[in-house]
Amino acid sequence: MRYARKMFRRAFSVRAILVVTALATVVVIASLVQNGNQVTIEMTDTGFQPSEITISQGDTVVFRSTGERGHWVASNYHPTHTVYPNSDIRKCGTVYEPLLFDACTVIEPGEEYRFTFHEAGVWNFHDHVFARYSGRVTVRKKNSPASFIYATVYKPALSALATFVSFFQDPPSKTPIGLSLGNGATFSPGYRPSAEELATDEDYEAKNIFSLVFNDLEAHRVVNQIGIKRALEKMYEESEDNTLFRCHQGAHYIGHAAYNLYGLSALSECTPLCSSGCYHGVAENWLIAEGDAGIIPKISESCSNLESKYKRDQCFHGAGHGFTAYTNYEIPKSLELCSKFNSADQQSHCYSGVFMENLMAAGGLGLITGHVSDWVSWEDLYYPCNAIGSDSEMLRRCYERQTTWMFVVNDLDVSKVLPECLNAPINERGSCFFGIGRDYMGNALGDTAQVQKLCESVSVQYRDDCITGAADLLVRDWSEATVYQAKNLCSGLPGNLESICFDYVIQGARDVYTSSSDLDTFCKALDEPYASRCIGP
């Protein structure tokens, strides 16, 4: 027994010596690779100054806090900080921290954070405390001894050290934002776990998954077993006693796992629950795995290969959400990315995702504090639609979504929102009434009689826009109950409104179903003459 204790102490001493030696080696190597130029960015109370710079590999950026409040600079996306290679907020407080483009804490006034950029590329960043403030560092490739040492010695040495330390030193149980690090593997973006890794005896439908998804392995198992949509539903349900901020962060990690398992097609299965965090997670893991070069053709190919038009449309819509988060809610930049898709239909659905994401981040919808958009106004209810130019499809999509903000500002009082649409530019009034129908259908919680009464009360020339907007909500949230909801909404409407309403839903069914038998089942549940019209060409 005495011999065993002696050997244990000796082994522990050897480990300790090796760790100290390894740490010293890494520190020495780090000093060798930080020999480039130095640029300073000030973190002020109104944003980063300058907000965009261009440097070379090996150059160091000094982020100096000069305002009256503390700031926390980190790689996009907010709140996971995973776009810059190897960065992840969950690694703060671990031996990986020197590799992170992440201050990992608030930098108080008068203090500074330094980071040496060794990875070439365009790296967006933000203030984790005030997420509306953002910037960009463009790092030009430079062949130098320092960059060579970094790639071939420093990174491998630090990674090896971290692996070694993990054998006998537990990682911190909490990150600076209170997320449990958990146990299990940390998967790189684009890595698909094996069947053995995904195998589990757990029944995630019966378990509380809210805390589990912050662990990479568990997140992949959850998504693999119960699917993306159900995982988001459970996250949202289980976040009731926590915060929507945590729900949003968890949805990011669901999105990470979804991308690793299903690629960009996961965008079509994400939903807006938890502030669209799933869309963001898929997009950020894609950007980390593939880089931002060629983003448009790759997304276009992935979305276009989905089996139904409904899923294709949702995929491009999801891309709009992702672009908006990627640009840190710079709406013009997001729309510019959407406009690079090949077809007008693809562009249109992407625009819709941008404007929806903008409103979800506006703050007035009770969503997370972190994602903030400056592209709304409490005084000008047509902003940003009146500031995005003259593209007719952008304007249509913007005014269709802008009614959500009008309802928020007017405390959900539809009698105050209706005049706003009548005062909109004449060419956009129909789109505005379409949005009223969709939003009122949602606010009425499925009370179709209320929606019918509303749409019948608006000006004659906009009644069809109102009722198709209401029908659109049914189509976008398609389920087995849609046919019955559609019958309740459309049946009995005066004049040609009934036909317009049913035709919209029937087209939605044709977009959803790829099987003729499934479409027939749906159609036969309708009353005549719409059942025959639905089945026919």
For 294-312, what is each residue's pLDDT tens digit? Answer: 788 888 888 888 888 888 8
- The whole-angstrom separation of Cα 421 and Cα 401 is 12
Rg (CA), the chain: 26
Please tell me the predicted confidence (pLDDT) of residue 182: 34
Please tell me the predicted confidence (pLDDT) of residue 40: 96
Helices (H), 227-266: 228-238, 244-262
Please tell me the predicted confidence (pLDDT) of residue 174: 32
Which among 59, 53, 44, 49 is positioned nearest to 107, based on CA atoms?
44
What's the N-to-C CA distance of the chain in angstroms? 86
Angle (nearest 5°) at CA 531 between 530 and 534? 80
| Helix/strand/coil for 214 | helix
Please tell me the predicted confidence (pLDDT) of residue 173: 35
Asked whether the beta carbons of 429 and 415 are under 8 A apart, the reply is no
Please tell me the predicted confidence (pLDDT) of residue 153: 55
For the chain, give the mean pLDDT: 80
Inform me whether the pLDDT recorded for 286 exceeds 50: yes
| Helix/strand/coil for 54 | strand
The tokens for 196 are: 């053995």
Measuring CA to CA, how many Å separate 395 from each of 154, 260, 399? Answer: 51, 35, 6
Please tell me the predicted confidence (pLDDT) of residue 357: 84
- The whole-angstrom separation of Cα 364 and Cα 402 is 13
Residues in the chain: 537
Confirm whether pTM is higher than 0.85.
no
- Specify the DSSP class assigned to residue 268: G
Please tell me the predicted confidence (pLDDT) of residue 166: 47
The tokens for 13 are: 């001493």
Over residues 142-164, the mean pLDDT reads 57
- 28-42, 75-89, 465-479: which has the minimum mean pLDDT? 28-42
| Helix/strand/coil for 38 | strand
Neighbours of 536 (CB within 10 A): 9
| Confidence bin at 485 (pLDDT 50/70/90) | confident
Measuring CA to CA, how many Å separate 269 from each of 219, 306, 412, 460? Answer: 16, 11, 29, 37
User: Residue 38: what are its φ and ψ, rounded to 5°?
Assistant: -130, 130
Which among 430, 438, 396, 398 is positioned nearest to 414, based on CA atoms?
438
Please tell me the predicted confidence (pLDDT) of residue 295: 80
Q: What is the DSSP string of 460-484?
A: GGGHHHHHHHHHHHHHHT--TTHHH
Which among 180, 217, 182 is positioned nearest to 199, based on CA atoms?
217
Please tell me the predicted confidence (pLDDT) of residue 340: 93
Q: Give the model confidence (pLDDT) of 381-412 as tens digits.
A: 999 999 999 999 999 999 999 999 999 899 88
Torsion of the alpha carbons at 97, 103, 106 and 109, rounded to the nearest 10: 130
Which among 196, 233, 194, 195 is positioned nearest to 213, based on CA atoms?
233
Q: What domains can you pick out in the chain, each with its CATH number?
A: 38-165 (2.60.40.420), 425-537 (no CATH)
Please tell me the predicted confidence (pLDDT) of residue 367: 30
The tokens for 527 are: 């009353």
Tell me the percentage of the chain whose pLDDT exceeds 90.
Answer: 39
Which among 189, 45, 166, 174 is positioned nearest to 95, based on CA atoms?
166
Exposure letters 336-353 (e unless 16+ CB within 10 A, then b): ebbbebeeeebbbbbbbb
Please tell me the predicted confidence (pLDDT) of residue 400: 96
